[in-house]
A and B are shown apart, each in its own frame.
Chain A
Amino acid sequence: MAMADFLVKAPSAGRGPIEYTHEDDALRIFGFWVFIATDMVLFASLFATYAVLYRHVGHGPGPLQIFDVTGFATETFILLTSSFTCGLSTYSMHRGQKGWMMAWMVVTILLGISFISFELSEFITDVAQGATLQTSAFLSAFFTLVGTHGAHVSLGIVWMTLILIQLAIRDLTPTTARKAFVVSLYWHFLDIVWIFIFTIVYLLGEMS
């Protein structure tokens, strides 16, 4: 009871960034942090599966045979840059520059699409070489972990596009600002997940 009261207590009206204008929006942003914590647990289970199974290559190819340094390094730099442009979008939003905010969102979406394109071409190359989801425990764990991240990014692209349309139609209001801020949190979170995929899947694969 006491905790619930604390969670919804009167906001600091008129202070802080635009997305925190109303207490309702502040509460929704907090709710999204809770979602991030639970989504982290989803990825934790997939990382745990990968960590246990990555040496079980069976008769299929191992990490060294299918990981392409140029390919995964490119994907990493594209996603890092998209996280930066997404941050610039939030920065422009805080300065009330709706045009720049939307322009940086478009750049972020385009980088997201190119990231997904690189990942899809990587998967297609793997499958063409006989490295499929059914080949070995290593590949099942690999495609499930990396694919789940890719599905998240794809969802993020669609979501950010919808927010972009809302911004164009409804203008920059505390509500659309909160929605844009939440999608930016999601995008940065996916970048953090990718940093660990880059390290634990790809770099560790190069070391094996």
Chain B
Amino acid sequence: MTSIEHHLEEHSGRSNGLDSTGMDEKHTPWNHIIGFSISLVLTVLALWMVLHHIIHAAVLFGAIMALAILQAFVQLYFFMHITEHHVPQWPFHVWMLTLGVTFTILFVVASIWIMSFGAESY
């Protein structure tokens, strides 16, 4: 048995309960289908809410931002497997991402805040 076969067996055996070959043809990637469906629903919902102006603009913007953040988590969880911890580095990549998100929020919010002073003059 090569190391890859050994590897596949251990992994698939652990996660899916497949047979020793790890090649169950009937297995369906439900997790991916669920993730994709949620993304589609969230996108259509955001688009529909905006095109029909269902609520006051400020509330509407808050709502579509919430949908976008939710969808980012869907990608991270269903497709980027962020919660899987096979690595000794776990969970440092989550901290890195948290740092990135913190900078992002800080950049955007602080820029808007600073540039709002005297905005009427330019």
Contacts and interface: CB of A to CB of B under 8 A. Distances in A.
A21 interface: yes
A178 B113 CA distance: 42
Interface residues of B, number: 61
A195 B107 contact: no
Contact of B43 (A8, A52, A84, A198): A198
B98 to A, nearest CB: 9
Interface stretch (A94-102, A122-130, A146-154): A94-102
A15 to B, nearest CB: 6
A16 B3 CA distance: 13
Bin chain A's interface residue count: 35 or more
Given A44-B104, A95-B23, A195-B68, A84 B36 contact: yes
Given A11-B88, A83-B79, A48 B108 contact: yes
A191 to B, nearest CB: 6
A48 B108 CA distance: 4
Contacts of B103: 40-41, 44
A29 B99 CA distance: 17
Interface stretch (A31-39, A109-117, A156-164): A31-39
Nearest to A206: B50
B92 A203 contact: no
A91 B100 contact: no
Contact of B100 (A40, A87, A185): A40
A153 B4 CA distance: 31
B60 A207 contact: yes
B89 to A, nearest CB: 4
A20 B36 contact: no
A88 B97 CA distance: 24
Interface of B: 3-8, 10-12, 14, 18, 22-23, 27, 29, 32, 35-36, 39-40, 43, 46-47, 50-51, 53, 57, 60-61, 64-65, 67-68, 71-72, 75-76, 78-81, 84, 86-89, 92-93, 96-97, 99-101, 103-104, 107-108, 110-112, 115
11 contacts: A21-B7, A38-B100, A40-B100, A48-B107, A48-B110, A77-B40, A87-B35, A90-B81, A96-B8, A189-B80, A195-B43
Given A26-B86, A77-B40, A174-B7, 8 more contacts: A30-B93, A33-B93, A80-B36, A84-B79, A91-B29, A94-B11, A95-B18, A195-B75
**Top-9 shortest CB links A-B:** A16-B86, A37-B100, A33-B93, A44-B104, A48-B111, A40-B100, A84-B36, A44-B107, A199-B68
